[in-house]
Amino acid sequence: MSPEGLSRSFAQVIDRVGDSRLRISLYHFPQMSAVPFSIDLVGRLRDAFPEVIVGMKDSSGDRAHLES
């Protein structure tokens, strides 16, 4: 799935839930999901939904990704 597709999927879920109490913590674990969260995607989601996207756990084992 492309970053754009992921962004649209999150936006659709957030819009459909439609509850101001919704909070999402992203979990970057591409070895299990086969779908990585790029830094660009995380930034895009945070910009679009700053009150909803509240954190991220990175279990990729890729220190360079974590520091970018």
pLDDT of residue 63: 72
pLDDT mean over 7-27: 95
pLDDT of residue 50: 96
* Angle CA 60–24–17, to nearest 5: 140
Check whether 33 has a pLDDT greater than 70: yes
pLDDT mean over 3-28: 94
pLDDT of residue 10: 94
Report which of 45, 4, 1, 44 is spatially closest to residue 25, judged by C-alpha positions. 45
More confident residue, 9 or 62: 9
pTM given for the model: 0.78
pLDDT mean over 16-23: 97
